[in-house]
Structure 1
């Protein structure tokens, strides 16, 4: 197995999948784990070399070549950290894949994801610019991606093709059965191919903190509309959806309101407001819900609300509320 540079890492939430699976499937092996369970949270990272060692040790105990696929099948949104919460808030799989590309570095930072289109196909590809993490690491990663996708969509769809950069294992049929399609090895890149129509696939309702938070906010927005407090009908909902999709900009919000950015800006000016003010207000209300829930770190919330960094989020929150996010959370 080839070593990676030390810059490669996976999130603690992702690594916890191994501990959760062993607790469920093989508690006898779980009790012998020579590794400490990592603390949950996207900023708590585990070096890929450590992750390799964990998977190597697990295989040596189980001697089951299907181990990475069985592990991947156990994935839940919580194991994907922030990405799991965010994906549960998307309207369709296309938005979820866009967020995957945006937040991949928080969950699985090894070789970068490239998204390409070829006729009626969507291609998710990973090269080897940082090296090859090896069969176990890659198999778990791609298995988790496909299993997580199946978990998200209302009507599961198998990939059209899966291929790996690694050598062909002795249990190729296990891979074909798991992915439900042809699986190739010894390729130039690791790749998952989906039908492009899958991007429009609606997501099933997810029982997550973020979904609950957004449902509560939807009720709040509805009450504000009934009370006539909304400056432009549908504006706050469009802002909330644009933030959740990672596109909190004027043109995107205007598109959701079926108008132009210039027209939206003019209407807001006529009412003594501005796009920046309205966006910041909704972001802060979403941040308050996240802080009250207490399940996400400040860095998570900054990423969720599509700020450039945690510092920008902190300054914006303090500008609106007069208090830092940390102090607000402590007071509530």
Structure 2
């Protein structure tokens, strides 16, 4: 039994949610998105959850082409990247490379890469973890996001040579009008075809400023970009799935099994093979998350509530099991330590 799962950061979905709310009046609450998730833009969300939300948006809007209506919201500028790193490059070629490599910190199980054929460059996106109706929406989501990145350098009137989209056809005329070129569907991957010379297009607003040798970024923030597990890294996938399950209350076996779409017994057998018990695994994860919250300046009472504990005493007892001191003692020691 495999527990392969892909994740995407909530901030990479926020443009869709903001656009849907602005255009259709459909709020995250109407989609039953958990409140805790909305408070942490860097939270990792299983892509299976995202697929459900995309299909639900189509049902609520009654519009299979809702991504087309919110195209102005689908940009990379909304990602929490210092200095708007993706789109602050002097030309499209550098941004192209940054997106292909850097987006792995925001989405796992998917590939962004280039294929070249003569003077034609195909900007490709492949995602094996999306199926059914959600495949069309996800393909359009990424294609429009990449299109907006291209137009950031080439101008709003720029047209592509050809676009291939995954999933079943939807709103053919409107889609071709948006991309300014022929569009085909049911492709094995998403492809945006452009002239290779377009990579030389520069950002007219770019101002060269020498970058500092050292970039100031808090270690706790840096960790947010490094915690993306690969789909086949089962221990890390388990860790992030349990952590995500906090959004629906205190972690329990049944909730996590449902997220993996397996039975409680199957999950427990898998944990046993890995040498874990669910109680230990969830306690360990919550302890680590508690320390992350401490580094962000939150106090133990607030942390206990955020982690879903019944009360501060239960949180303190669980934390002490893993750190041999109470949260208050740990936080006091953190504050007393002098920086190197």
Give the deviation of 1:14 after TM superposition: 1.2
Whether the 8 Å contact between 1:71 and 1:140 is mirrored in structure 2 is no
Q: Distance in 2 between matches of 1:45 and 1:89?
A: 25
Q: Distance in 2 between matches of 1:43 and 1:31?
A: 19
Whether the 8 Å contact between 1:42 and 1:82 is mirrored in structure 2 is no
Whether the 8 Å contact between 1:11 and 1:43 is mirrored in structure 2 is yes
Matching of residue 96 in structure 1 with residue 98 in structure 2: no
Q: More deviation in 32-41 or 83-92?
A: 32-41
Q: Distance in 1 between matches of 2:11 and 2:202?
A: 25
Aligned to 2:190: 190
Superposition map of 1:175-254 within 5 A: 175-205=175-205, 218=209, 237=210, 240=211
Whether the 8 Å contact between 1:160 and 1:194 is mirrored in structure 2 is yes
Aligned to 2:81: 82
Whether the 8 Å contact between 1:22 and 1:30 is mirrored in structure 2 is no
Query: The residue matched to 2:17 in structure 1 has which SS?
Result: helix
Query: The residue matched to 1:116 in structure 2 has which SS?
Result: strand
Superposition map of 1:19-30 within 5 A: 19-27=17-25, 29=27
TM-score, with length taken from structure 2: 0.57
Whether the 8 Å contact between 1:164 and 1:191 is mirrored in structure 2 is yes
Aligned to 1:297: 221
Aligned to 1:63: 62
Q: What are the ranges of 5 or more consecutive residues in structure 2 without an aligned counterpart?
A: 228-333
Q: Distance in 2 between matches of 1:20 and 1:137?
A: 16
Whether the 8 Å contact between 1:13 and 1:40 is mirrored in structure 2 is no
Give the deviation of 1:184 after TM superposition: 0.5
Matching of residue 283 in structure 1 with residue 213 in structure 2: yes
Closer, same or farther: CA 300–193 of 1 in aligned 2, 3 Å? farther
Q: Distance in 2 between matches of 1:302 and 1:5?
A: 21
Superposition map of 1:308-319 within 5 A: none
Query: The residue matched to 1:153 in structure 2 has which SS?
Result: helix
TM-score, with length taken from structure 1: 0.58
Whether the 8 Å contact between 1:19 and 1:30 is mirrored in structure 2 is yes
Closer, same or farther: CA 94–114 of 1 in aligned 2, 3 Å? same
Say what the alpha-carbon RMSD is for the aligned residues.
3.5
Whether the 8 Å contact between 1:113 and 1:125 is mirrored in structure 2 is yes
Aligned residues: 226
Q: Distance in 2 between matches of 1:85 and 1:190?
A: 25
Give the deviation of 1:159 after TM superposition: 1.6
Q: Distance in 2 between matches of 1:110 and 1:69?
A: 25
Closer, same or farther: CA 130–35 of 1 in aligned 2, 3 Å? closer
Aligned to 2:48: 49
Whether the 8 Å contact between 1:81 and 1:107 is mirrored in structure 2 is no
Give the deviation of 1:139 after TM superposition: 1.8
Matching of residue 33 in structure 1 with residue 34 in structure 2: no
Whether the 8 Å contact between 2:87 and 2:149 is mirrored in structure 1 is no
Whether the 8 Å contact between 1:6 and 1:48 is mirrored in structure 2 is no
Give the deviation of 1:163 after TM superposition: 0.4
Aligned to 2:5: 7
Q: What are the ranges of 5 or more consecutive residues in structure 1 without an aligned counterpart?
A: 219-236, 241-281, 304-325
Residues 91-112 of structure 1 deviation map (CA, whole Å, 9 limit, x = unaligned) = 1000000001111212333431
Give the deviation of 1:301 after TM superposition: 7.9
